[in-house]
Structure 1
Amino acid sequence: MALQQRLRGRQAHTPGPTFLSYTPNGRKLITVGLDNPIRVFKSGSDEEPINIDDCMDSNTAVAAANAFFIAGSEDGTVCKYSLDTNSLEKVLVRCSLPVRDVALSPDGNWVAVASDELVVKVVNTQDMSRVLILRDQTRAVKHVSFDTSGTYLAVSCSDGQIYIYSLSSEEPELIKRVDGMIKSLETESEASSKVIWHPDGRAFAAPTPAREVQVMSKSDWERQRVFKTQHTGDITATAWSPNGGLLATTSTDRKLCLWDTKTQKLIKTYDDIRATILAMAWHPTENTLSYTNNDGELYIHTDFVPTDYISVLEKTLQPAPFIHDPLAETSGNATRQPVSGPKDGLVMRQARQGTPDSLDDILGSDAMSDVGDGFIEDDDGAGYAEEINGYGKRTNGHLDAIAVPDGKRRAYGQGSWRPRIHEPFQPGSTPWRGNRRYLCLNLIGFVWTVDQETHHTVTVEFYDREFHRDFHFTDPFLYDKACLNENGTLFSSQPSEKNPAMIYYRPHETWTTRTDWRTQLPDGEKVTAIALSDSYVVVTTSANYVRVFTLFGVPFRVYRQKSSPTVTCAAWRDYVLTIGNGPVGGDGTCRLLYTIENVKRDEVCQSEDVVALTEGAELQSVFFSDNGDPHIYDSTGVLLTLLHWRVPSQARWVPLLDTRLLSRLASGRKQESYWPVAVAASKFHCIILKGGDRHPYFPRPLLTDFDFQVPVSGLRAPKRASASTGANAMDDDDDDADADAGVSEQTRLEELYLRTSVQHTQFASMLSFVRSSPSQRALLPRLELEVDKVLLQLLAIECREGEERGMKALEIVTLMLDRSGKMLEAAGKVAARFGRDVLGEKIRELAERRLVGLEAEDEEMG
């Protein structure tokens, strides 16, 4: 009985399908139906509606702006009506078949028309000669829907597919075809497949064949939360509340359901519905839901949301229901953005006025901290506020105002300011996309997890299945980090209400019964990064501790990291590399500092040295190569290695490859980036990301390796060396430039000299600090020979150029590493071949001086 008192049913049209639309300001409600008149209702008034009789019969769709509305009819006519004069303004477009839906862009400048034709027409409401035609559909279109920005248009086709078009350019572009989300329906069916964009603009939802409402994100087209409606009939209409915090659904079972967006829980069911509802619309500002049915009736349901949930409706803009909201958690390699300055923060607060569970909660209190123009109010006009300078000091009027460059105001302006820090990340892991993410990707295999809401399922797969067997397990601890090597797999989880943070190591094989082990961290301590070597398990935590365990769980070292907050870590054999935030640079960003320690010998190789990044670049990955040398890869696409890192205070970062100089990018037609995986066999192994992708995704990506190419002049790096792991990871393109096209022989050899010198230096350093094998010791002379061969080729080029290049030629000879004199003898022969007698004499003198020096050195050693 109470339900009937709230409802205000009106016979708006003759029995039959009836549709409605609110104006954006909520002042008027327009309904259309099978009869001739279009009715305009005034919100909140019991007066009779205004009838517009100068219109087409059998109107099937309506969309309203504040000053006008658009209606489409079964005869294929789409008309624009004025709400000022309540009359027909003009016919915008005619279709040869019945119109099924119309949608207005948020600015009211464009109307999209769905009809039984195979094309969708997008017509300018001011100039009907401007028409965009969308032609990719295979069958007639049932629904159209603009997103909140008006940039994207979702087309629900009767073939069961959603076509997403971008209208940001003069020519519409089909950017996504979503298959399997909506049901294949005839255009005249009462059931709905309409896309409804969430008010926050980041996602949309649509009814599924299973009579549920599926949410999909716009950024990566991944399926997110689902509303399990349990309707017994096909869904006929859906509608988000204006703030996106609630969802209304109805179906042919004549039930109207209200849902909480955040939890996807049913709030209330209204089951006293007389006829099948075909269209619903929330009032923009009031607790009112209006709907029309297939019996020509209009219902204005006031006080629709129950009192217990009215606070949800009154909140500011609510987030779309993501499985893992990118705003709520930091993605794998993201850097925290600077805190907004006073002006930006004030505008944002005034616009949003955050409440609990709003976007403020998701973004965090830090991101929306109060930042005013100062903490003193000059309420009595005495000028106290003017006596406080930009550094919070009283000047007594004798100091000038502090001049701050415009570009620095956000960092150094008055009010609250905090430096930008690098958020922690796990090398080799990816953020959530939908309900899946990779926990680890390397040359051994990959670890990935699936969010099953109540638990996760983890899968570990290997490239060499003859050596290791894949395994899969149910994960109740919700592991969010993993490391994988030939010995075992390491996992970590964050603390929860039930469990503290946990470390779990699972060896692949042991000579006894397989001995998995778990250990818990102290309460309140979170895991920021983990690493696994052949000897140790390394864990960095939110308390800035570095915890080192043996492979079978014995705590071996615990110490506090000097640079904080911690960022990441890596390990190789007995060496541990940790990275943390250091002092603030001139741009307001913390500099990254690294430390390398031999934990077995308890020796520090490098202590709090700077990670060499260019301004604006972010650290994307850090790892040891197969030879045990540290490498980093930054967001600019540069791979660097660390030389002399075993000698304290002697380390330096040297670039090995700049992926921006790859020859495959020379044409400018490719848009791709590279996800770092490993450095092995003197090659950079990575995953190629096409288009705007920033992280690899499923199905399992294939690996590609590139040869090193030290950036010298404008040298273009080779297209690729080969595809890794037995799979061709890249497609050949005819337009790829040749690796050496436009590069002189001299430039190529100069790059080769730098590269081989770096490799020789790294290998010589390793032999100086490890117990080398005979094969390793035999490799060093071969590397020296490679360096000297390159120098001989450079010498030949200089000799070919003429006698005036003799001084540079002699300089090249002095760079040779050979101590036996054979390469100097070969250099003399090169000079003689080109008739460079003076140079030949200089080379002989150099050989004699080197021989004397070696003899003196031998005497001292003796």
Structure 2
Amino acid sequence: MSLQQRVRSRQAHAPGPTFLSYTPNGKKLITVGVDNYYRIYSTGSDDEPVTLDDCQENNTAIVANNEFFFVGSEDGTVCKYSIQDKKLEEILVRTSLPVRDIALSPDGNWIAVASDEIVVKVVNTKDMTQVQHLRDQSRAVKHVSFDNSGSRLAVSCTDGNIYMYSLSSETPNLIKKVDGMIKSLESDAVASSKAIWHPDGRAFATPTATREMQVMSFSDWARQRAFKTAHSADITAAAWSPNGALLATTSSDLTLKIWDTKTQKMIKNYDDLKATTLAMAWHPTENVLSYTNDDGEVYFHTEVIPTEHVPLLEKSVQPAPFFHDPSEGQLRDADNVTNGTKNVLPERQARRAGTPDSLDDILGSDAISEDGMDDFVVDDDGAGYVHVINVHGKRTNDHLGGLNSLGGKRRAHNTSSFRPRIHESFQPGSTPWRGNRRYLCLNLTGFVWTVSQESSHHTVTVEFNDREFHRDFHFTDPFLYDKACLNDTGTLFSCQPNLGQPAMIYYRPHETWTTRADWRTNLPAGESVTAIALSDSYVVVTTSANYVRIYTLYGIPFRVYRQKASPAVSCAAWRDYVLTIGNGPVSGDGSCQLLYTIENVKRDEVYQSEDIVALTPDSTLSCVFFSDEGDPYIYDSTGVLLTLLHWRTTGQARWVPMLDTNLLSRLSTGAKQESYWPVAVANRKFHCIILKGQDKHPYFPRSILSEFDFQIPLTSASDKKDRDADAMDEDDDEDSGKKGSSEQSKHEQALIMANTLHSQLSDTLANTRPSSHQKQGLVELEVQVDRTLLQLLGLECLAGEDRGMKALEIVTLMRDANGKMLDLAGKVAMRYGRDVLAEKIRELAEQRLVGLEEED
């Protein structure tokens, strides 16, 4: 084994128990030990680490975020240190007995402290006076660990039980006492009983007395897969890879084993460790596993995953290893409730023996997993790959979808069974359930997310991007809200009919000058909510009865009408404008066309009525919203962002692509595999969340927002790259027209973008009361158009005399009203010796001058 070639070891501390933690961004690794200093290593560097002196001795635990790290010690203190300033910030917690473990919530706001005291303290890292006490355990606590949302804490007690707490409310609640899963250990024992949460958030695993890693699902407390580690001594540390596809375990038998999560098979065994490993951490993004032992050493194990298994580490977040997925029923029930129906998942059908008369027998046994259980798939993304099982245990033909051809005998004999493909309704900015949580809303104001508490309620959290403007809040949700909208004015929620209760709308303003201004209203019995929207003036609700219900911000019903295009798909609102989208006529491929309507609610004027949403074949609508300037935008499943021009003039609206994310230069090499979750359009930029790999929706913790400039698709990124390369390879004495190919492409892009933005803004100014800033912006766009045309003119003049016709055409496109740009155009032509072109430009200037005089 080439262990020596792959492992770099450092004597980090004096011989004794040593612990470590990576920062979430992976740039730093910090170690603590029995001595009175800490070490900060820079990832990938062989330089000496930064050392912090005069610290506590006999340290027992460390956790870190990107700005701070926290250390627990046997003297009963938990200290907070600044990574940037390399100094002690404060002592957060003091306990009367030694600290054994600490855990940091994903948002970095709370730290849980396990000590030889019976009570576990959960302390706010920014305000140490905010403390929660967990008192249900009967003995000292050995380990604590937050789940991915930070709303639950697993407490591994020395009595051999795991105490699971909910921290989503002001008073912590004991959710479950899990007994018989971990071994009863002394708090200072080398062996581990820590619950490690799987990255998908739906399960955790712990070492057992039989030296296995047992997985338990959180939603139903069922024991799932187990990793039969074959360690000959107790497990001392375990860690999931960042995507949950791999599990690493170490033991007092001085071995390190790595497992494939899906198959529970060991893919690598390192059996010559020098000392007992006490702490272990995967690098967040690289193929590196770091660990510390009881001899004061830290190891950086690069290329720890063999080459043939590296693709496992590169996947997106993988599902927890379940025998059966307990969330399948919840996902299907949630979808059924949303649609106002209630269906029951079919039981798994036993395979029929004998003749191959079922589709599974004909196609083979690929659908049966290694342990003989079906890989039952839930159609949670609407892709249509779930097959409906009839009462005879066979799949129906629903999986065949719409008819794919216009001819053939099959179509001739089955026209009576034809059913159009209807676009499913969706709420802009929301994500489906993943485990027990989901986002209800994501935009530039903030985000709303909900957590299912596996009982009769949820917990809802509203967080703002600008906390100086609004304060975050959260509350217990007994109504099970499934949709939300958020803006600077307030937060809007809706829930579906449940247990005989009708669907309900709830609006909560952020600030009021009265004692109470929030309001609720019920929908008529039988109606469910398909989508909601919130503007500065109105609340908009579309329902399963195809009604559009509009309320004022204080709950006064303002308009109710039936939507022509049905079933309803989605809606959006901005100030007095409301945009609704629904299914329309069936197109040639069997799918329903989407139709949109835009109206001014205050004036009771309809600008566009049941016009077509321009989507390409086989694409779907992913998001619809208004920009910060009040223009409608859509984002489709192909990754194209489009805006609606001239939408205030009946019959003149058209969808214009403003950005094709497939043509971004960052994707031109083909090395990146990513997609983009639309959030907003603001400041003439596309704001989104970048999703890596096969991810389709953002997950917890929330990723940072990215922004991209508009770029109307004219050429592919590869074409632009080739032109740039050609321009670099040309000699200085070659034709200068060839050198300008990349410049011409850049100016053409700038021209069409400026023209589009000018049309958009001029429409706005013609139909609203313009501000001085908007007027100035329109003038700047006109100047930008003319300046870009002038630059293109220079490139054409540089190309040669034979390009004179195109050069004159460029001049005719100028918006110049006073003749200054035409004078500059003539000077450009004279500069390059294009006398004939200069004469044509003078004639054009004279014609425009005469036209202006006649108009006067």
Q: Which bracket does the TM-score occupy, shorter chain normalised?
A: 0.5 to 0.7
Cα gap change, 1:519 to 1:814, in 2 (>3 Å): same
Aligned residue type for 2:515:
T
Name the residue aligned to 2:182. Answer: none
Contact conserved, 2:249 with 2:258, CA < 8 A, in 1?
no
Cα gap change, 1:417 to 1:178, in 2 (>3 Å): closer
Name the residue aligned to 1:422. Answer: 423
SS of residue matched to 1:768: helix
Name the residue aligned to 1:51. Answer: none
User: Superposition pairs for residues 287-366 of structure 1, below 5 Å?
Assistant: 326-327=378-379, 331=381, 334=382, 337=384, 349=390, 352-353=393-394
Name the residue aligned to 1:671. Answer: 673
The CA deviation at 1:152 is 4.0
CA–CA distance in structure 2, aligned partners of residues 495 and 644 of structure 1: 39
Contact conserved, 2:668 with 2:717, CA < 8 A, in 1?
no
SS of residue matched to 2:560: strand
Cα gap change, 1:582 to 1:847, in 2 (>3 Å): same
The CA deviation at 1:655 is 0.6
Contact conserved, 2:546 with 2:566, CA < 8 A, in 1?
yes
CA–CA distance in structure 1, aligned partners of residues 800 and 450 of structure 2: 65
User: Percent of pairs identical after alignment?
Assistant: 60
SS of residue matched to 1:605: strand
Deviations 1:86-130 (A, max 9, x none): xxxxxxxxxxxx9999xxxxxxxxxx9964599xxxxxxxxxxxx
User: Superposition pairs for residues 670-819 of structure 1, below 5 Å?
Assistant: 670-715=672-717, 744-819=742-817
Name the residue aligned to 1:608. Answer: 610
Name the residue aligned to 2:176. Answer: none
Name the residue aligned to 1:197. Answer: 323
Contact conserved, 2:597 with 2:608, CA < 8 A, in 1?
yes
Structure with bigger gyration radius? 1
SS of residue matched to 2:482: strand
Contact conserved, 1:540 with 1:546, CA < 8 A, in 2?
yes
> What is the aligned-residue RMSD (CA, Å)?
4.6
- Corresponding residue to 1:465 among 461, 464, 467: 467
The CA deviation at 1:663 is 1.1
Q: Number of matched residues?
A: 543
CA–CA distance in structure 2, aligned partners of residues 640 and 556 of structure 1: 31
Name the residue aligned to 2:834. Answer: 836
CA–CA distance in structure 1, aligned partners of residues 576 and 412 of structure 2: 41
Deviations 1:344-381 (A, max 9, x none): x8xx6598348xxxxx9xxxxx958999xxxxxxxxxx
CA–CA distance in structure 1, aligned partners of residues 712 and 315 of structure 2: 42
Aligned residue type for 1:501:
A
CA–CA distance in structure 2, aligned partners of residues 747 and 705 of structure 1: 22
> Mean alpha-carbon deviation: is it higher for 434-443 or for 412-421?
412-421
Q: For structure 1, list consecutive stretches of 5 or more residues without a partner in the other structure.
A: 1-97, 102-111, 119-133, 183-194, 204-214, 221-241, 246-282, 287-315, 355-359, 361-365, 372-389, 391-401, 720-736
Deviations 1:802-838 (A, max 9, x none): 1110110111111111211111111111111111111
CA–CA distance in structure 2, aligned partners of residues 754 and 425 of structure 1: 33
Cα gap change, 1:426 to 1:815, in 2 (>3 Å): same
Contact conserved, 2:378 with 2:386, CA < 8 A, in 1?
no
Name the residue aligned to 1:542. Answer: 544
User: Superposition pairs for residues 435-514 of structure 1, below 5 Å?
Assistant: 435-453=436-454, 454-514=456-516
Deviations 1:171-215 (A, max 9, x none): 575449999x99xxxxxxxxxxxx6633xxxx4xxxxxxxxxxx6
User: Superposition pairs for residues 18-417 of structure 1, below 5 Å?
Assistant: 115-116=230-231, 138=250, 152-153=263-264, 173-175=311-313, 197-198=323-324, 203=325, 326-327=378-379, 331=381, 334=382, 337=384, 349=390, 352-353=393-394, 367=398, 405=407, 413-414=414-415, 416-417=417-418
Cα gap change, 1:556 to 1:833, in 2 (>3 Å): same
CA–CA distance in structure 1, aligned partners of residues 260 and 830 of structure 2: 78
SS of residue matched to 2:676: strand
The CA deviation at 1:662 is 1.0
> Mean alpha-carbon deviation: is it higher for 740-749 or for 794-803?
740-749
Name the residue aligned to 1:562. Answer: 564
The CA deviation at 1:498 is 3.5
Aligned residue type for 1:459:
T
CA–CA distance in structure 2, aligned partners of residues 496 and 469 of structure 1: 31
The CA deviation at 1:513 is 2.3
Cα gap change, 1:146 to 1:747, in 2 (>3 Å): closer
Contact conserved, 1:404 with 1:413, CA < 8 A, in 2?
no
The CA deviation at 1:779 is 2.2
Name the residue aligned to 2:434. Answer: 433
TM-score, normalisation: structure 2 = 0.57
Aligned residue type for 1:429:
S
SS of residue matched to 1:805: helix
Aligned residue type for 1:820:
N
SS of residue matched to 1:824: helix
Contact conserved, 1:663 with 1:717, CA < 8 A, in 2?
no
Contact conserved, 1:715 with 1:748, CA < 8 A, in 2?
no
The CA deviation at 1:848 is 1.2
Aligned residue type for 1:791:
L
1:659 equivalenced with 2:652 (yes/no): no
CA–CA distance in structure 1, aligned partners of residues 719 and 538 of structure 2: 37
CA–CA distance in structure 2, aligned partners of residues 370 and 777 of structure 1: 52
Cα gap change, 1:155 to 1:515, in 2 (>3 Å): farther
Contact conserved, 2:316 with 2:695, CA < 8 A, in 1?
no
Contact conserved, 2:678 with 2:687, CA < 8 A, in 1?
yes
CA–CA distance in structure 2, aligned partners of residues 411 and 439 of structure 1: 45
1:618 equivalenced with 2:744 (yes/no): no
Cα gap change, 1:741 to 1:583, in 2 (>3 Å): farther
Cα gap change, 1:563 to 1:670, in 2 (>3 Å): same
Cα gap change, 1:411 to 1:690, in 2 (>3 Å): farther
CA–CA distance in structure 2, aligned partners of residues 216 and 142 of structure 1: 33
The CA deviation at 1:432 is 0.5
CA–CA distance in structure 2, aligned partners of residues 750 and 370 of structure 1: 43
The CA deviation at 1:774 is 2.5
CA–CA distance in structure 1, aligned partners of residues 793 and 399 of structure 2: 63
Name the residue aligned to 1:726. Answer: none
Cα gap change, 1:443 to 1:741, in 2 (>3 Å): farther
Contact conserved, 2:484 with 2:492, CA < 8 A, in 1?
yes
SS of residue matched to 1:851: helix
- Corresponding residue to 2:581 among 571, 579, 582: 579
Q: For structure 2, list consecutive stretches of 5 or more residues without a partner in the other structure.
A: 1-209, 214-226, 234-245, 270-276, 288-304, 332-345, 354-371, 730-740
Aligned residue type for 1:352:
G
CA–CA distance in structure 2, aligned partners of residues 491 and 594 of structure 1: 23
Contact conserved, 1:244 with 1:317, CA < 8 A, in 2?
no
Aligned residue type for 2:847:
R
CA–CA distance in structure 2, aligned partners of residues 527 and 570 of structure 1: 14
Cα gap change, 1:625 to 1:412, in 2 (>3 Å): farther
SS of residue matched to 2:417: coil
Name the residue aligned to 1:261. Answer: none
